[in-house]
Copies of this chain bind each other. A is one copy, B any other.
Amino acid sequence: MRIALDGMGGDRAPSVVVEGAAQALDQGPPDLEITLVGQAEALEPELKRVGLSGGRVKLQEASQVAGMGDSPSSVLRHLRDCSIRVAYDLHKAGEVDAVISAGNSGATMAVGMVVMGRLPEVDRPALASVLPGLSGPTVIIDVGANVDCSSLMLLQFGYMGSVYAETVLGIADPKVGILSIGEESGKGNTVVKQAYDYLKNSPLNFTGNVEGRDLLDGDVSVVVCDGFVGNVCLKLAEGLVENLKELMKREVLSTIRGKLGGMLLMPTLKSLGLRLDYAQYGGAPLLGINGVAYICHGASSAQAIASAVRMASESVAGDFSSHLAEGLERYRGALLGFDEPV
């Protein structure tokens, strides 16, 4: 199990990334190895600081760094020795099994698609996010890789999410739904209504429309949407949880009674905060490329980085890519049965 970690990616890189690597090695399986990719002069002092050395951690020099503001195309063209690119080059060469970055997410997606290539039958790789639903995890796909989607793309997202839920999350015959604005089949915009028909006629365990209010119930394991809507929803959920914590803090601190109750409830609030902390869920898998890649939030904590390493390990162990390729091959007839250009 060899994972390449972009040492230069993230708001607090490299320190938090290196701390995340240390946590991951501490918590992970004994065969886990991490290759930190980036500028040695920045990474070496951090490795020393957290006391990381020895055979399970390697350092791979990459002379350039992709900034958060750099466009994916300029990273592809001009930063051929940046840490994100070098990490994928290692993956392509078979020297690592997965890539993780908390850096420029647009660049991490674009470079991943270009360097690794796509799986057969996948027109566009998609970014999935696993959120904690009330009764179980929910895979939302796409959350930002594709802002303008065709109905056939949404169908493919359904396949990718379903295989991910089954092979990585261990959910048997996962329920697949499509995000829409009503429970009935006729509800939605033009693209969603067409995708509903495609999904309904596919071999997937399609259960119909999912409304925003049911998105995080966990009843449906895979929710399909275009990357624009998915990204807005993901960030809205994040922001709302932050707002609620802030409101609760204000309310609790506003009276003596509130303060005392807050003290008694502190462990409860903390465990609740943990459940609601989407960062705990680590990274978002980029599905459909010919490899394993996870994209982390720029503000990721060391714990979030370590979670992403754990998730990437599970993807590698579950051999997600082969299963997806097989699954898509099996469903090829269904996919090719529709003549809309993607």
Contact = CB atoms under 8 A, between A and B. Distances in A.
A255 B268 contact: yes
A93 interface: no
Contacts of A271: 251
B240 A134 contact: no
Given A189-B148, A228-B229, A244 B244 contact: yes
Interface in A131-186: 134, 144, 147-148, 179-181, 184
Count of this chain's copies in the oligomeric assembly: 2
A265 B267 contact: no
B212 A238 contact: yes
A228 to B, nearest CB: 5
B134 A243 contact: yes
A234 interface: yes
Interface in A173-216: 179-181, 184, 188-190, 192, 211-216
Interface residues of A, number: 60
A79 interface: no
Contact of A239 (B69, B148, B212): B212
Contacts of A243: 134, 216-217
A252 to B, nearest CB: 6
Contacts of A241: 240, 244
Contact of A189 (B147, B214, B251, B258): B147
A189 to B, nearest CB: 4
Interface string A78-102: 0000000000000000000000000
Interface of A: 69, 134, 144, 147-148, 179-181, 184, 188-190, 192, 211-217, 225-229, 231-244, 246-248, 251-252, 254-255, 257-258, 260-265, 267-268, 271-272, 275-276
19 contacts: A69-B184, A179-B232, A180-B232, A188-B228, A212-B235, A212-B237, A215-B232, A217-B239, A225-B232, A228-B229, A236-B236, A237-B240, A241-B244, A251-B271, A254-B268, A255-B267, A258-B265, A261-B268, A265-B265
Q: Which 6 A-B pairs have the closest CB atoms?
A: A212-B235, A261-B264, A213-B239, A261-B265, A212-B236, A213-B235
